[in-house]
Structure 1
Amino acid sequence: MTTSTTASDAPTEPRLDLDAYLARVGWSGERRPTVAVLRALTTAHVTSIPFENLDPLLGSAPSLALPDLEAKMVRGRRGGYCYEHNTLLAAALKALGFRVTGLLARVRVGARGSLRPRTHMLLLVEVPGERLSYAADVGFGSIGGLLEAVPLVTGVEFHAGPRRHRFVREPHSGLEDLWVLQAFLGGEWEDQYAFTREPAERPDYEVANWHVATHPRSPFRHTLHAQRIAGDRHLALAGRTLTETYDDGTGKQRELVDDAELVAVLTADFGIEPPESLLSLPS
């Protein structure tokens, strides 16, 4: 016996509370799928919701279900890492009328030539009426990350605030050459990550999310990482080392003395309300 499924029987994707999301990122502009809206909204997101890995540090892979992301990052005072940020952004962009494709990249920061798995999520966005596709990424969690969506083209240098980026192509044995995102840091261009336009689907992200959150050698399992853009400075917390980098290139670094100061900094400077179980972790 065979059965058929009608459209009404198919599972429906939960809908994003767009009003709540836009309020969270402080966006009150027009709600149309234009290049200007795409750029402004990605900037609003990346400057409003912090990057953090508290869930993996506490021993669990964060849920990528939209209702859970809303509860944590929209209605709660928490952030997340790439899968959470870009899944949430993708839902918002789709609600506004953009066409969004998820991609997976190999992170090159700190790789020293080693080949890493494809574990970083970013988005390829199509804008109605525009010839070019745009790369959007609000979850890289690094000073080399994008501040706004940029066209996926080579031969162009992109400026957003103090940050400079470009894409270069690199020979690859696959169906197309690699796209490599580079950031201008310390007076030279540095690779951030490399990817192709092969679409990634939700099961791919679920597997990558589980791997990054639970693998014994994953840095997210052992060290607290938090990042936030606050006015004219970029804040980065690695363990108890707090680094502040200003738009003019100057910066400072200090060690947080104890758990109380760590919680105070996460709360006041990063806008994160850490769970109480964070304090039970070894220093």
Structure 2
Amino acid sequence: MPTTHGTSELDLTAYLARIQWSGERVANARTLRSLHRAHVLHIPFENTEAVGGSAPSLALPDLERKLVRSARGGYCYEHNTLLAAALRAFGFEVTYLATRVRASVRGETPTRPRTHMVLMVRVPDAETPYLADVGFGTTGLLEAVPLVADTAVERGAWRVRLVHEPHAGRQDLWVLQLAPNGGGWNDLYEFTEEPFEGPDFEVANWFVATYPRSPFRQRLFAQRPGVDSHLALFDRQLVRTHGDGTVHERALRDNAEVLRTLATDFGIELPAGTELPG
């Protein structure tokens, strides 16, 4: 099973070049927000290993080779492990958290395991920690947000907020919600501030990538979040969603067109001859 452990350090200069970020390397809230935004906008979301039945490595050298030095992306464990390494190099304190996704299926919201990985980031000299998550795809955060309840934050053509919900546990239950500007709120995921460790996500990574009923095993996902619109590929269906609710869809013809679209529209270059489902 791939491991997240090791003594290697991230090539921070290469990472910052990959996300096209430049600025003073100081750990403050402005830096956190801008790093988060640059990562989301420049490294795509994809599940090509998982849809083929294998769990991607979470070892930092492998993440650097794939997400930093190659025209590739990844899913939540890869993205947030990489961001955590970069934030720690800047001097931020980072804690792994596990969330329960609340996305609806055919009008119902099934109870899922807590398998989505996010980060709680403490900023020096700031009382309130931040929620950071660069691995939720098109509907996720654009910038890290303070862990404060009932405060809407602009997210381009959308808004996000955190709310509290009562539950049986001892810790507060947080829920992240998303809404189009002027529209109603939809739950994305729930979490507490209970800390998790790298090995917890090694298990989750293996499960979501290899369990036959996992959504990541059943269809190809590629996503490119934006400020005012999002681009997503589901198997051979290309979907662009705008902040005003307009959706444009196009069916791709074959595997060759999927590979070309991944390269040109998402910045994901897979090896020639790669076979994908669909």
TM-score, length of structure 2 as denominator length? 0.93
Q: Give ranges in structure 2 of 5+ residues lacking alignment.
A: none
Report Cα offsets for 1:210-248 as digits up to 9, x if no partner: 000000100111200010035743101111111012344
- Please name the residue that 2:102 is paired with: 108
Q: How many residues align?
A: 271
Aligned to 1:6: none
Q: Deviations over 1:51-85 (max 9, x none)?
A: 00000112210000000000000001110000000
- Once residues 211 and 251 of structure 1 are traced to their aligned partners in structure 2, the CA distance between those partners, rounded to angstroms, is 32
Q: In structure 1, give the amino acid aligned to 2:164.
A: R
The CA RMSD over aligned residues, in Å, is 1.5
Q: Larger C-alpha radius of gyration, 1 or 2?
A: 1
Q: Which residue in the other structure is 2:33 paired with? A: 39
Residue-by-residue CA offset, 1:123-175 (whole Å, 9 max, x unaligned): 000000001110000000132x1100000011211112112011111112112
Residue matched to 2:167: 172
Counterpart secondary structure, 1:103? strand
- Give the gaps of 5 or more residues in structure 1: 1-10
Structure 1 distance, partners of 2:49, 2:148, is: 35
Give TM-score scaled by structure 1 length.
0.92
Deviation string, structure 1 residues 160-197 (Cα, Å, up to 9, x no partner): 21120111111121121310000014821000000000
Partner of 2:22: 28
Asked if the contact 1:52/1:226 (under 8 Å) is kept, the reply is yes
Instruction: Work out whether 1:52 is the aligned partner of 2:46.
Output: yes
Change (3 A) 1:12 1:187: closer
Select 2:56's aligned residue among 56, 59, 62.
Answer: 62
Checking the alignment, whether the CA contact within 8 Å between 1:168 and 1:180 is kept in structure 2 is yes
Which residue in the other structure is 2:211 paired with? Answer: 215
Query: Which one-letter code corresponds to 1:106 in the other structure?
Result: R
After TM superposition, the runs of 4+ consecutive aligned structure 1 residues lying more than 6 A away are none
What is the rounded CA distance, in whole Å, between the counterparts of 2:256 and 2:6 in structure 1?
44
Moved more, 209-218 or 269-278: 269-278
State the Cα deviation string for residues 74-100 of structure 1 (Å, max 9, x = none).
001110000000000000000000000
Say whether the 8 Å CA contact 2:138–2:225 is kept in structure 1: no
C-alpha distance in structure 2 between counterparts of 1:122 and 1:66, whole Å? 17
How far the C-alpha of 1:265 sits from its partner, in A, is: 0.5
Instruction: Write the letter of the residue equivalent to 1:170.
Output: E
Residue 141 of structure 2 is matched in structure 1 by: 146
- For 1:262, the equivalent position in structure 2 comes to 258
Q: Provide closer, same or farther for how the CA distance between residues 214 and 31 of structure 1 changes in structure 2, counting only shifts above 3 A.
A: same
Structure 2 match to 1:160: 155
Secondary structure at the aligned position of 2:225 is classed as: strand
Superposed counterparts of 1:239-278, under 5 Å: 239-276=235-272, 278=274
Q: Separation in 1 of the partners of 2:6 and 2:101?
A: 33
